Structure 1
């Protein structure tokens, strides 16, 4: 328990051996001092963010849009996929350009639209089917160790099964919603919570739709049929609970939900059955959490690794990323140990590990050089 300067309480669900920056603790105290704040629950992946900590669930009598941030509805979904020969080198070359958006009119014949039913939330068609930058990704992975056969069976998963893991959010829509608030009210509360929540909920639905579109685009490109997600939880949102506002910023809903807690592109991720209570604000961690800033990761990474070294990970998987700077910023070494995060959740009785997912191909952003080589091979084949 951290001391707070106001009436709000702060709980940190990390062991003494877990490394958390002092700036992240400071941000937790700053949030706890806000008017109307009740309780701040910090997860073991806690790290500093822009104005508010990432890896925290914060309950208040007042709704603060900046505590959710711009990527409203960002989350992680897991889709089963069936492939005959999952050879990473061949599959990496077949990933589509997920930086190129799908437009309902210009790309009406794209088969990925089959997973869309009803209207597009908020009528926002810009950026559909794109993954975005930063820590977002689409990953082909296999189920590694099954740690709880009962829960794994409930999800229909077994060791060796293949899954698509999709991590993205509401793209420009969430940014627009936060920008319109901050231009008028800065970091202050929402003057009309219901009006904010109506737009917020559309962004959450948009993010879930975008994850489905991305999974469908990749499935079709790899020669498979799209499937329904077995897990899909967003970790940037606000929830009205017991008359209060529960803000989650990099914290996944943990009240009886199944959650994928992301490791890195060079380590396993963990599927868990979450069972967090009120002291944890009904939340669990959303990933490994950064231990280096992007600037530090870039500087240290360039001193230790080449670009080609970072395209092949310690678990033998491949990384599709045409942005060399992003390769260094998102290197596995820039993040905390996912095993420590999971151990902390288990120690605090917030989650039960179900299974690991081991990366085969991780898509970050299009590698135009690979695309050019692929197009050239196709042209030669038609001659």
Structure 2
């Protein structure tokens, strides 16, 4: 327990969990919330219904403190989800999956100077960071072609400009190596301690947030051009790994999206819909909402259980009929839909706690994870 300068024990931070008895919340994740609540300066921890354990800090939480802790944001500063309308004449998953570009191959200003995706770049690349630019990354990151489902809140759907049957690109990615470098340089000197110079950290952090948003635009533009469409502006682009100053405190979000009157895409899995919501979370939730379904299994458990139940080919075709482009077999099992919580439960909890209003769903057609090298070789032999 921290101690007040007067010598009295400091009042511990409050912890609120926005879930229901039917939600899957691991005790280890709750333990991490209370560990964070015991940090010096911490005022309030709000845990979302997609809460699950992370490396040293819970994922799916918003944490308000008078002290800035970089480890509560993590290494993928600026990670977020954006939604881009896309106009295609026909959306046949089998044909479109084969046309996705190699999003493991970074855009190089010299080698790829003529790539039309550069058209979305306005000004300089934040922090001058070119490593990994235009790449999706590993883990739960993805680029997905999806179809908009039934409209659940017409007034919000009209405001956003989406209708049932529209096609969209959903892009989940972050700052790649830039955020990792920022956290590593901090932890090498200060471990999990606070930022000794918050303004200096925030300057680098803000550049990584801008970089993540640019990267999502570049990814969407690369895919749009490859599919024969023109790139568009995102109708949603919310970061869920960041810290901001609010009400005189540092509000850390790790796997939690800003919920103060913004539109948020709460990601499901590659085999379930995602939900676009109009968020209206208040101070008790640290003005935040869930960012996705949240893991139910560790990667090791998902790999072990998945190999016992599924074949690789079974995982390439999802329960909703969509296709998964992924040349990494291990990643296919680690990111299987069964490794995640039920997205309907997460959305139901947000609604029950009056944090968000569902607007519509996006149903996957093609989910890109990594290039399918084997498919490329098969096509080249024809």
For the Cα contact (< 8 Å) 1:67–1:247, is it kept in 2?
yes
Q: Once the 2 structures are TM-superposed, how far is the Cα of residue 374 of structure 1 from its aligned partner?
A: 3.5
Deviation at 1:328, TM superposition (A): 0.2
The equivalent residue for 1:123 is 128
* 1:336-364: CA deviation from partner (whole Å, max 9, x where unpaired): 00000000000000000000000000000
Question: What RMSD over aligned residues (CA atoms) do the two structures have, in Å?
Answer: 0.8
1:104 Cα shift? Answer: 1.1
Q: 1:144-196, CA deviations, whole angstroms, 9 ceiling, x for partnerless residues?
A: 12111110011110000000000000000000000000000000000000000
Distance (whole Å) between structure 2 residues aligned to residue 268 and residue 229 of structure 1: 19
2:277 is aligned with 1:266: no
- The answer to whether structure 1 residue 185 and structure 2 residue 190 are counterparts is yes
Unaligned runs of 5+ in 2: 1-9
2:167 to 162, 169, 185: 162
Cα deviation 1:35-81 (Å, max 9, x = unaligned): 00000000000000000000000000000000000000000000000
Structure 1 residue runs of 5 or longer lacking an equivalent are 378-383
Are 1:6 and 1:32, in contact at CA under 8 Å, matched by a contact in 2?
A: no
| Deviation by residue 1:261-317 (Cα, 9 ceiling, x = unmatched) | 000000000000000000000000000000000000000000000000000000000
1:349 corresponds to which of 327, 351, 354 = 354
Tell me which of 69, 72, 76 is aligned to 1:67: 72
Q: Which residue of 2 aligns with 1:15?
A: 20
Q: Distance in 2 between matches of 1:272 and 1:372?
A: 40
Query: Which residue in the other structure is 1:380 paired with?
Result: none
Residue 16 of structure 1: how far off its partner (Å): 1.1
> What displacement does 1:94 show?
0.2
Corresponding residue for residue 320 of structure 2 = 315
What is residue 302 of structure 1 aligned with on the other side?
Answer: 307
| Residue from 328, 342, 351 that aligns with 1:337 | 342
Match of 1:381? none
The separation in 2 between residues aligned to 1:244 and 1:97, in whole angstroms, is 42
Q: TM-score, with normalisation over the residues of structure 2? A: 0.97
Q: Post-superposition shift, 1:376? A: 4.4
Aligned to 1:44, the other structure's residue is in SS state strand
Deviation at 1:88, TM superposition (A): 0.1
2:209 and 2:15 map into 1 onto residues whose CA distance is 27
Structure 1 stretches of at least 4 aligned residues deviating more than 6 Å after TM superposition: none
Aligned match of 1:103: 108
Q: For residues 1-383 of structure 1, what are the structure 2 equivalents within 5 Å?
A: 7-377=12-382
1:375, CA displacement in angstroms? 4.0
Equivalents in 1 of 2:351, 2:203: separation in Å?
Answer: 35
Shift of 1:6: 5.1
SS at match of 2:33: helix
- Cα distance in 2 for residues equivalent to 1:160 and 1:73: 30
SS in 2 for 1:217: helix
Determine the C-alpha separation between the residues in 2 that align with 1:49 and 1:12. 16
Secondary structure at the aligned position of 2:114 is classed as: coil
How big is the shift at 1:106? 1.3
Distance in 2, matches of 1:216 and 1:373, equals: 26
